């Protein structure tokens, strides 16, 4: 019995000893406003949030990743083209679940999770000696910080500032702050040219947009998707509903959007719409203005740098081609991907 207990204790020590006390460490504040002590030198990372996974690849830190979330290939289709080493890595958890024992075996210096990960999940990992950092890419205060569908006084400001804070925080943690700043500078410079070109469009002439997700789900207010629509010069017809939510066909018919967008990760939804009898009465379908977004648009609930750098530009060009006739999206995408992913963009535009 004593021998067995000694074996168990030895195993526990072997799993946790690298996590106990790094030689040198610093204190950071994550995007749940938690104070976290992280090692000065981070070499092993487990990522349980897809946005952070994408950002780490852009930062040139993919070689530090030792574990990923289970659904990363579904949530970020195409990322393996730019970081093939991600394929085959252990998958010890997901956005809202984790196998702590499997994470411990990977001996990570830090584990990145989403802001809406269950508090019990974060606590369980922290109690096991893991360094857990929550990333939201939004600036949520108080009770809004951990919400999947937060309420902000100003969605645009919350996601713009939150993206800067999140990318710079990740960059600081993995020793890539200079590159993080370069990504942010690039993204916001690109955003500005869209802003300038659509500023003069009267409200009455702005295109009405709808984001079609599976099973009649869409994004309302409180999500970055609404921000990208507004930034591109459009109007989200679902702005009256909150967050990621299910709507009815009657809602869509009443809103009668002029353009429908479908995210590339949900591409089959486009076929369902085109074949659906009720959809034939929607302006966007009647006028053949249904578009599947390229992988770099990422019009998700939370922002990513290339959504600002490329996504808002792509969307604006689709809505107002005459105002963006001089913009070659292949060249735009190649320039960004070459600089931050290390190779030219290989997907559709």
Q: What is the pLDDT of residue 262?
A: 98
Ordered per-residue pLDDT tens for the chain, 349 residues: 333 333 343 344 444 444 444 569 999 999 999 999 999 999 999 999 999 999 999 999 999 999 999 999 999 999 999 999 999 999 999 999 999 999 999 999 999 999 999 999 999 999 999 999 999 999 987 889 999 989 999 999 999 999 999 999 999 999 999 999 999 999 999 999 999 999 999 999 999 999 999 999 999 999 999 999 999 999 999 999 999 999 999 999 999 999 999 999 999 999 999 999 999 999 999 999 999 999 999 999 999 999 999 999 999 999 999 999 999 999 999 999 999 999 999 888 8
Q: What is the pLDDT of residue 22?
A: 54
For residue 28, report the phi and psi dihedrals to the nearest 5 degrees: -125, 165
Q: What is the pLDDT of residue 10?
A: 37
Q: What is the pLDDT of residue 129?
A: 97
The three-state secondary structure class of 162 is: helix
Q: Which domains does the chain have, with CATH numbers?
A: 16-175 (3.40.50.1980), 198-340 (3.40.50.1980)
Tokens of 296: 């770099």
- Residues whose CB falls within 8 Å of the CB of residue 74, separated by 6 or more in sequence, listed in order: 265
Helices (H), 199-346: 224-231, 249-255, 268-275, 283-286, 305-306, 312-319, 329-340
Q: What is the pLDDT of residue 23?
A: 63
Query: DSSP secondary-structure letter at 222?
Result: T
pTM, two decimal places: 0.90
Strand stretches in the chain, DSSP E? 25-29, 35-39, 45-48, 65-68, 110-114, 132-135, 207-211, 217-219, 234-236, 244-246, 259-262, 290-292
């Amino acid at each position: 019995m004593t021998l067995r207990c000694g074996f168990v204790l030895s195993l526990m020590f072997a799993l946790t000893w690298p996590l106990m006390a790094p030689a040198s460490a610093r204190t950071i504040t994550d995007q749940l406003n938690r104070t976290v002590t992280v090692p000065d030198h981070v070499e092993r990372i487990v990522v349980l949030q897809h946005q952070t996974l994408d950002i780490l690849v852009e930062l040139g830190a993919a070689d530090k990743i030792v574990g990923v979330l289970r659904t990363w290939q579904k949530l970020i289709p195409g990322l393996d083209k730019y970081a093939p080493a991600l394929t085959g890595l252990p998958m010890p958890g997901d956005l809202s679940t984790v196998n702590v024992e499997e994470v411990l075996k990977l001996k990570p210096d830090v584990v990145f999770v989403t802001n809406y990960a269950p508090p019990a999940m974060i606590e369980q990992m922290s109690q096991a000696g893991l360094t857990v950092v929550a990333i939201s890419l939004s600036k949520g205060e108080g009770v809004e910080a951990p919400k999947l569908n937060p309420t902000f006084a100003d969605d645009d400001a919350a996601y713009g500032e939150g993206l800067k804070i999140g990318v710079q925080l990740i960059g600081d943690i993995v020793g890539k702050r200079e590159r993080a700043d370069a990504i942010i500078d690039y993204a916001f410079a690109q955003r500005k040219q869209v802003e300038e070109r659509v500023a003069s469009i009267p409200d009455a002439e702005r295109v009405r947009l709808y984001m079609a997700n599976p099973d009649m789900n869409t994004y309302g207010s409180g999500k970055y998707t609404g921000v990208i629509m507004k930034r591109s010069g459009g109007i989200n017809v679902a702005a009256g509903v909150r967050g990621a939510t299910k709507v009815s066909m009657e809602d869509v018919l009443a809103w009668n959007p002029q353009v429908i967008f479908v995210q590339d990760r949900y591409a089959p939804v486009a076929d369902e719409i085109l074949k659906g009898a009720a959809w034939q009465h929607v302006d966007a379908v009647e006028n053949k203005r249904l578009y599947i977004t390229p992988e770099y648009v990422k019009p998700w609930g939370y922002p990513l740098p290339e959504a600002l750098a490329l996504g808002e530009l792509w969307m604006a060009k689709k809505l107002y081609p005459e105002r963006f006739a001089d913009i070659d999206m292949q060249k735009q995408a190649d320039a960004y991907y070459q600089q931050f992913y290390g190779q030219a963009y290989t997907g559709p535009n």
